[in-house]
Structure 1
Amino acid sequence: MKFENPWKQNPWFESVAVAHERARKRLPQPVYGALVAGSERGQSIAENEAAFAELGLAPHVVGQQPERSQATTVFGQQIGLPVIISPTGVQAVHPDGEVAVARAAAARGTIMGLSNFASKSVEDVTATGATTFFQMYWTGDRDTMIQRMQRAHAAGAAGLIATLDWSFSMGRDWGSPEIPERMDFKAMVRLAPKVVTKAGWLGQFGRQYLKTGKLPDLTAPNLAPPGGEPPAAAPGGETPAKPSWGPAPTFFGAYYEWMTTPPPSWEDVAWMREIWQQISGTPFVLKGVCRVDDALRAVDAGVAGISVSNHGGNNLDGTPAAIRMVRPIAQAVGDQIDVVMDGGVRRGSDVVKALALGAKAVLIGRAYLWGLAANGQAGVENVLDILSGGIDSALRGLALSSTTELRPQHLLIPDGFDRALGAPEPALTSR
């Protein structure tokens, strides 16, 4: 009897946990390790997921709504479900990388976040038709940052996400995965024992090589310097010439640029937002906010929105779970800006809990990367469908017709759940 791989026959999976397990089995250990590792002891990454389990739901036995909507508007964009693709760096889990993710986002009607450390260019990603928000770190001098913003706008980016909280901690208790600077022959020989047993993953990249003649490389094309004359204006509505770019830096080259760039001030944030407004006029979002006082400063800086995030546990270990910081921050900024959150979202009910505490949407990172590793574009769509299905089930149980109706009273929130970092001290009363 011929053995048939059941995954090949039925690549669909029913939960993010199953996608995670398939990604673990499919990926070489260094690649998988880069996906799941948090900084230092991994306290924050574990807390991101665990905190959701402390929140309960308060369902009704009668009154369920026959029609339920997940559509919402965030950062000026109408989206089909309150789940946004968070920008993540070089996506070596699949040869199509960010292009496959963008196609999935477009197919499900949501926003694609694209990292400037992505393995695919912003031009290739926006060409999919996905509503794309380009993410930038504070790296390089101001002229370089302006060039990158101009490139993103020219490619059709619908917004800019500024990420300032990155520290790329290497002090992981379980060790950091080996990341080669370039995938040359020497690196391939050294890594061969770790990838030779992963036939499915290796085969995907092998087919890409036969098709394109190129090996996968850990470069960041969106950080490439201008390599020629800028494209001329398009006469009569014709498609403009494609811009020319110099060689893309490696991931380590990008890391060096970040290490040698002085950290930004709030004045720098306001400058970055102002430049983006002049170039594009589309929303400017600040990612990585953990404190109430920082959220209020972001409002003062003129941002359109913030993401409450501890960088998925990859930044400062010991930072509280993102979901614990949502309500204090959302209450502090009110309706002045849009608040989203990311960190630990694995189920539709997690999305519902975040929205009930004041977020307008959530961003997902590891969840869609596991789907991408398990089954490419279809795997990312599978993850989005799982979350959408869970959201719908929760709305039905709560007797709500829309995610926009979610409020704290729909949850069971234990005392002391929130973490109001940087909140103003209450006024002292006299005895």
Structure 2
Amino acid sequence: MEYSAPGIARHPTAAQSTPAELPDLSHILSITEMETLAMQRMSQKAISYYTSATDDQITKGENSTIYRSIQLRPRVLVDCTECDLSTTVLGHKLGIPLFVSPAALATLAHPVGEAGIAGACSSFKSLGIISQNAGLPLKDIVQAGPEAVFGWQLYVVKDIEETRRKLALLKEIRQVKFIVLTVDAPFPGKREIEVRYKMGEVAAGGPPQVWGTESALTWKKTLAWLQTETDLPIVLKGIQTYEDAYAATLFPAVKGIILSNHGGRALDTVAPPVQVLLEIRKFCPQVLRRVDVLIDGGIKRGTDIVKALALGAKAVGIGRAPLFGLAVGGQQGVERTIQILVDETMTAMRLLGATKVSHLRPRHVNTSALTARLYDGPAALDDVEREVMGEEDP
């Protein structure tokens, strides 16, 4: 998921000035426990920004709970002494199949901000996607993660020259390996917790929040333009239907997609990302061969990660969890957050009888309880291709 609002005012930090005593991080055993501790340490501004979701927050909840309906199918008498969590995304070797999704203003959680997240990613040789609206300069962030692989999130804003300037900076920062174009938030969702807090700020004399994202983006026009501004591979973040997953494969510049609904912060009552993954398997499984499919949203346990990997995801992202770890213990808190999920993922793989990420297959999961939730109309991929390549009204 991601937490980015183009035009939002930046603050160096809004973390509490007198946080509770730092706990022994090794005693924190779950992502839920880390979140609980973070709530005790973060400012009200940070809590309202990080935790809010749209309308009744149904999608935010279902992103997580849907994993409970997927059963694991262990195979026994397999030598699982060794377990290799490495994987490859867009040709880059990663130490673990877990990445950090873009999240704006990590300095709200802790002054070290995105540099702490980058350092944690580096410790695991993993992938970090940096928010366009990070609280720290991009150069400082990538320097803090020498062993990490980085993507950079792009919002195309109404001031196209501003977007061009941001893209031009990437030519000097070669640690960024691909562009992550966010496509699911041309307008902001109605995040009531965040709106209410902002109303209080404005009443106290603060500036109103401005949403500056360009709403006129289209498949052919936008992707053709973006290729004139950068030579980096493109990943589309915010794919929420199998139709759009298929559409992405029609453009050679698109090397990957991230199944994501903005952590429930854009449109409420949309399908959770893992349901979209199931619909891709049902209607257009060729997508999984043509582009790298990543997924984020609702990850609480290593078993969630294993289920997504077994269904074809190349890597699984976490958005809120690193922020909570950051609030609790800075970079060490983020490292503990990742370590919890890494340990749980390794345990689940061993008990399934899978000693490599590549060994995970659909046979390791039972998704029959979700069959009734899947879209039951025709695939209509020819219609998708005509609409997208002709850019006709659907």
Q: Same fold (TM over 0.5)?
A: yes
Give the drift of 1:63.
Answer: 1.6
Which residue of the partner structure matches residue 40 of structure 2? 25
From 96, 104, 123, give the equivalent of 2:139. 123
TM-superposed CA distance for 1:327, in Å, is 2.8
- 1:384 equivalent to 2:338? Answer yes
The aligned residue for residue 82 of structure 2 is 67
The 3-state SS of whatever aligns with 2:181 is strand
| Cα pair 2:198 2:208 within 8 Å, conserved | no
Q: In the alignment, what sits opposite 1:169?
A: 189
Which of 133, 154, 166 is the matching residue for 1:136? 154
Which of 206, 209, 223 matches 1:252? 209
What one-letter code is carried by the residue in structure 1 that aligns with 2:75? H
Partner of 2:9: none
Q: Give the Cα separation in 2 of the matches to 1:400 and 1:374.
A: 33
Q: 1:297 to 1:273 in 2, by over 3 A?
A: farther
Higher mean alpha-carbon deviation, 57-66 vs 391-400, is at: 57-66
Task: From the superposition, tell whether residues 23 and 171 of structure 1 become closer, same or farther in structure 2 (CA, over 3 Å).
Answer: closer
1:337-416 → structure 2 map (5 Å cutoff):
337-416=291-370
Out of 278, 292, 310, the residue aligned to residue 261 of structure 2 is 310
Q: Does 1:283 align with 2:301?
A: no
Q: Does 1:110 align with 2:126?
A: yes
Matched residue type, 1:110:
S
Aligned-partner Cα distance in 2 for 1:83–1:423: 33
TM-score by length of 2: 0.83
Counterpart amino acid of residue 134 in structure 1: W
Match of 1:240 in 2: none
Pair 1:93 & 2:43 matched: no
Look up the match of 2:96.
81
Alpha-carbon offset, residue 6 of structure 1: 9.5
> What are the equivalent positions in structure 2 for 1:324-335 lying under 5 Å apart?
324-329=275-280, 331-335=285-289
Aligned length: 352
Please tell me the residue identity of whatever aligns with 2:239. V
Q: After the TM superposition, list the runs of 4 or more consecutive aligned residues in structure 1 that deviate by more than 6 angstroms.
A: 180-183
Per-residue displacement from partner, 1:259-296 (whole Å, max 9, x unpaired)?
Answer: xx3420112332244235xx33x321000001122112
Structure 1, residues 289-329: CA drift from partner, whole Å, max 9, x if none? 01122112111122000001111100100101111111332
Aligned-partner residue type, residue 29 of structure 1: Q
TM-superposed CA distance for 1:180, in Å, is 8.6
Q: Which runs of 5+ in 1 are unaligned?
A: 191-249
Distance 1:160 1:423, change over 3 A: farther
Local SS of the residue matching 1:349: helix
CA distance in 2, matches of 1:358, 1:86: 18
Identical columns (%) = 27
Distance 1:175 1:304, change over 3 A: closer
Give the alignment partner of residue 242 of structure 2, picking from 249, 274, 292.
292
Q: Which amino acid aligns with 1:169?
A: G
Deviation of 1:176 (Å): 3.1
Match of 1:178 in 2: 197
Match of 1:271 in 2: 224
Q: Is the 8 Å Cα contact of residues 20 and 41 (structure 2) preserved in structure 1?
A: no
Cα distance between partner residues in 2 of 1:363 and 1:148: 24
Distance 1:70 1:272, change over 3 A: farther
CA offsets 1:372-423 (integer angstroms, 9 cap, x no match): 1111100111111111111111111111110111111101212444634886
- Following superposition, the deviation at residue 76 of structure 1 comes to 1.9
Could you say which structure has the larger radius of gyration?
A: 1
Shift of 1:426: 9.9
Q: Is residue 58 from structure 1 mapped to residue 82 from structure 2 by the alignment? A: no
Gaps of 5+ in 2: 1-18, 383-394
Q: Does 1:150 align with 2:139?
A: no
Aligned Cα root-mean-square deviation (Å): 2.6
Distance change in 2, residues 1:165/1:394 (3 Å): same
TM-score by length of 1: 0.76
Q: Alignment partner of 1:334: what SS?
A: helix
Cα distance in 2 for partners of 1:420, 1:136 equals 30
Q: Is the 8 A contact 1:113 1:132 kept in 2?
A: yes
Residues 52 and 191, structure 2, Cα contact 8 Å, conserved in 1: no
